[in-house]
Amino acid sequence: MSDDKLIHVQELIESATSSLKTAAALMRELTGVTDIEHERHSLRASSMGSGDVSGRVVEGVFDGQNMVDANGETYPVPANYASKSKLVEGDGMKLTITDEGKFIYKQIAPLQRRTIVGTLIQEDGQYKVLAEGKAYRLLLASVTFYRAEVGDQVTILLPEGQEASWGAVEAVIPKHLSEAAAKAMVSSEDGELSPTVDEAD
């Protein structure tokens, strides 16, 4: 590709990015909504119930990183808890704030889940899984817990029938294992797949 074409492509990308930012600003101005996904989680939280009158119990929805209540307030969910519990975006949660000021989270309304497999990438300083033509964000705690590396195959959980930006890590197949399995299937130079046959003694 020539330098002129590369420059033209770069200009097109910058123009498209600028148009998207302008469109998002107009949408915020017209609707008053600054974060569409945040608003969606807040609306779902409002349908879950009013919670405790004393305000010591708060119900909300997991947004992939935090819990969002019906008023749009955000509460930090410990990444280790979210990772180990395999919370998916949209799961209903309850937060109990003790007299000592401790935050105790509990999953109360899990969504139906679906499983997909993708490749771990790093984009804009964040780990993501590229699957089904989309990059799903991951909690850093999940990536470090599984000791995943860029290029590994990662199985993630997503909410069934709902849009999501975040995935919950279910399992990791290290890159060297998946490559070794693929190489073991290909034995001839023309690249045709050849099954393994046990020879008789």
Question: pLDDT, tens digit, for every residue of 164-197?
Answer: 999 999 999 988 776 666 666 654 445 555 555 4
- Cα 143 to its chain centre, rounded Å, is 12
**Cα torsion for 123, 129, 131, 136, to the nearest 10°?**
-80
What is the pLDDT at residue 55?
Answer: 43
What is the pLDDT at residue 186?
Answer: 56
What is the pLDDT at residue 1?
Answer: 60
Average pLDDT over every residue of 153-167: 95
- Cα 60 to its chain centre, rounded Å, is 18
Mean model confidence pLDDT for the chain: 81
- Torsion 33-38-41-46 (CA) sign: negative
* Pairwise CA distance, residues 154 & 48, whole Å: 32
pTM, whole model, 2 decimals?
Answer: 0.63
Say whether pLDDT at 125 is over 70: yes
Residue type, 178: S
What burial letters (b/e) apply to 30-43, b meaning 16+ CB within 10 Å? eeeeeeebeebbbe
* Pairwise CA distance, residues 108 & 79, whole Å: 18
